[in-house]
Each structure stands twice: as structure tokens, then as C-alpha cells.
Amino acid sequence: MDKLTDSELHALVSLLDDTDWEVKSHVKDRLVSIGQEVIPFLEKKWEDCFNPELQREIEELVHTLQFSQLKTRLLNWKNSPDQDLLTGLWLINTYQYPDLEFKKLQTEMNQIYFEVWTAFKNDLQPYEQVKIMNSILFNHFKFSANTKNFHSPANSMLSAVLETKKGNPISLCCIYLLVAQKLGIPIYGVNLPNLFILTYKTEEVRFYINAFNKGVVFTKKDITNYLEHLNIAPEEAFYEPCSNMAIIKRFLRNLYLTFEKFGESEKMQEIKELTEILED
């Protein structure tokens, strides 16, 4: 595609509110075909524009371009060898906050890790490690369950959870998990029905952690009791570590249910498209 001059771009954008649907459609296709590089130009045009209809058209176009970029990045993440968890969480985050830089999340997570790392001593036993992590995360940083706005999409946005210190079970677990793994502690995510938890798992030691309840520790028997209470038959997956892929899929499922609850059908469709990218 030939690179357009600024004057050609201006001329194209000015046709976005043309009354002829065919002209408008052609202009949109042409701008989309240019790709991500046209976004800064469109954003500047939006700022300088006083036509609400044209502004709305530009907003939709920018979102189309950003969503296309997100789908490409998510596919690349799926095909990456390690499927890095923080990268996956950042990608979900960019659905609502497309300008969020990965480096910002990484820096904030490193600050939390550093606080925990400096509190650690040599030869700590597993329960002592968890006790220190709980103290730093839930007493020092004051992370807590967002019970007041449990269905808010912000609970699935890591940047918002880091800012407000409130999240849902899976977002709080992921912060815990990312710090633990950077410390080399064998803590993993566990996909339970209606709840996401963590497990501390080695050949010698095995217990579970509920980050939504300030890191309370419990046993395998407690999970069995929980499943019985829900009338759900036990499955091996309810006791074992899950993959980063399973975590990211669950984040997307939570977002889908959130948008369903608020009747946002367009966003539901987009989250469905993102989920389909991750399916085998």
C-alpha cells in the first residue's frame, strides 16, 4: 500500500461523515488498510475536530485498528513458547486501555516483588514464605477483594487492580502468582468452579491459598467439601495447577460475563473473537 501524504489523509478523513454510505465504507476500508501507523494521525484529527458525528466515526475507526492489533498480538502470544503470564494479562488490559505500555505493568509488579524479596530470609519453610507474602500483599500493599463492585470489568484489568488494590479472585491470585514465581516459589494457579485459587506444590508439601480471602491457607479436603457444597463432582483439574493459557481464557470468560451482565453486546462479541483465537 502506497504511503499517503498528510493532505491525502486529511481528505480521506473528511469523507468519514459523507452521507453516501458507499463512500464512507470505502474510506474506512482504505484507512484500515494503512494499519496502526494511521492511529496517531486519527487521534490528532479527533482532537482538532468540532463535528460530533465525525468524532464518533474516528473513534470507531481507531477502535477497529486497535482491536485488530490486539488480535494479532494475542495470536502471537498463543504461538509463543512460554505464553508469559504478565504479557497475556497486559494484552487483556489493552482491550480497555489500548495505550497501556507493558513496561508500566512490569515496573509496578517489580516493585511488589522487591518488597516481598527484601522481607524474605534464607531457609524459610513453605508456610513461612506464604505468611510473609500474605503480610506484604494484604497488610503492606492492602490488596483486598472487590466485593462492592465484583462484576466491574476493572477487576479483569491488571492496571486497575494495581491502582485500586481491589480485584476479583483471579486477578488477586495472578499478582500473588507472578511475585511467587519471580521468587522461585512453587506456587501455581488452580481453576475451580466459581473460584480461582493457588496451590503450593512440591513433592513433599501440598496446600492451597485463597488470595481473595487475604491468602488464607486450606487443604485438599476443603476443596472436596467446597465441590460437594456446589453439588459438583470432583475432577483432577480442580486440585492441580493450570496453565497460563487456562488463566488467560478464564480472564476473558469473566470479561464476557461482565459485559453480558451490563448488556454490552458489541463488547461481548469482541471478547468472543479474542477467546476463539486462543481455542485449539
d(CA 233, CA 98): 40
What is the per-residue DSSP string for 50-106? --HHHHHHHHHHHHHHHHHHHHHHHHHHHTSSS--HHHHHHHHHHHH-TT--HHHHH
Whole-number Å distance between alpha carbons of 238 and 226? 11
Average pLDDT, 10 consecutive residues per value, the chain (280 residues): 65 65 71 74 72 76 88 97 97 95 98 96 93 97 93 94 97 98 97 96 97 96 96 96 97 96 96 94
pTM assigned to the model:
0.86
Every domain of the chain and the residues it spans: 6-78, 85-278
Q: How far apart are CA 115 and CA 253, in angstroms?
A: 32
The answer to whether 211 and 197 have CB atoms below 8 angstroms apart is yes
pLDDT of residue 11: 66
